[in-house]
Amino acid sequence: MLINMKYGILLTALLFTTSLLGHDVSHSILRNGYGVEFHYEDGNPLDFADVQIFRPGESEMEFQIGMTDENGIFMFNPDTLGSWTVKVSDGLGHGKIVQVEVGETISGVVNEKSLPPLQKAIVGLGYILFVFSIWYLIVKRRQEQHAHS
């Protein structure tokens, strides 16, 4: 009777230990991965913005969802090669969809090619001047035709 009781206690202890092991969380610290940094036009970070990550060729089922940190950075660790889609939204109608090319090796920082603000302003004003000049010529010509007829 005493022996049976000892076996019973031992068995219960073993089962309890297995159950504890099943809920244990182990971890590794990774030093690789891809990060995307988002910021507004004025340089302020897109902080705590919603992020969705999609595997190459996937547009419905997310690989990962999360939030940018207070510096507007989101890190992820892709498990296949190809073009990954990163979708960010600040919940106010601002956001962006970025394609991150994942190759065999990580190749440093890839900056978005963007014109400086002054150049943007000059290009935009040139475009507007062009549109309204064309409109002016059309209306002027129409007026002259009316005057002749």
Partner 1 sequence: MHIPDGFLNTPVTLATGGISAVALAYSLKRVNETIKPEQIPLMGLMASFVFMIQLFSFPIGVGTSIHLTGALLISILLGPMVGFLIMTVSLLALALLFQHGGLLSLGANILNMAGVGCFIGYGIYRLIPSQRSSLIIAGLLSGIASAVLCSFELALSGMLDLSSAFKTMLLIYGLTGLIEGVITLFILEFLRKVKPELVEGPG
Please report whether residue 97 would count as binding partner 1 according to CB under 8 A.
yes
Out of 37, 87, 100, 102, which residue is the one contacting partner 1 (CB under 8 A)?
87
For the chain, the distance separating the N- and C-terminal CA atoms, rounded to the nearest angstrom, is: 122
Interaction residues for partner 1, span 120-139 (CB under 8 A): 120-121, 123-125, 127-129, 131-133, 135-136, 139
The residue among 16 and 130 lying less far from partner 1, judged by its C-beta, is 130
Distance CA 94, CA 44 (A): 13
Q: Which helix (H) or strand (E) holds 124?
A: helix 117-148
Out of 69, 89, 100, 102, which residue is the one contacting partner 1 (CB under 8 A)?
89
Dihedral angle, C-alpha 42, 45, 48, 54, nearest 10 °: 100
Out of 40, 71, 77, 80, which residue is the one contacting partner 1 (CB under 8 A)?
40
Please enumerate in sequence order all residues whose Cβ is within 8 A of that of 96, keeping only pairs 6 or more positions apart, or say none. 38, 87, 88
Task: Tell me, rounded to whole angstroms, the distance of Cα 126 from its chain centroid.
Answer: 32
Please report whether residue 47 would count as binding partner 1 according to CB under 8 A.
yes
Out of 37, 95, 100, 102, which residue is the one contacting partner 1 (CB under 8 A)?
95
HSE-CB at 121 with a 13 A cutoff on CA atoms is 4
Out of 1, 2, 20, 92, which residue is the one contacting partner 1 (CB under 8 A)?
92
Q: Could you tell me if 67 and 60 are in contact, meaning their C-beta atoms sit under 8 angstroms apart? A: no
- Give me the residues that bind partner 1 (CB under 8 A), please: 40-42, 44, 47, 87, 89-97, 114-115, 117, 120-121, 123-125, 127-129, 131-133, 135-136, 139-140, 143
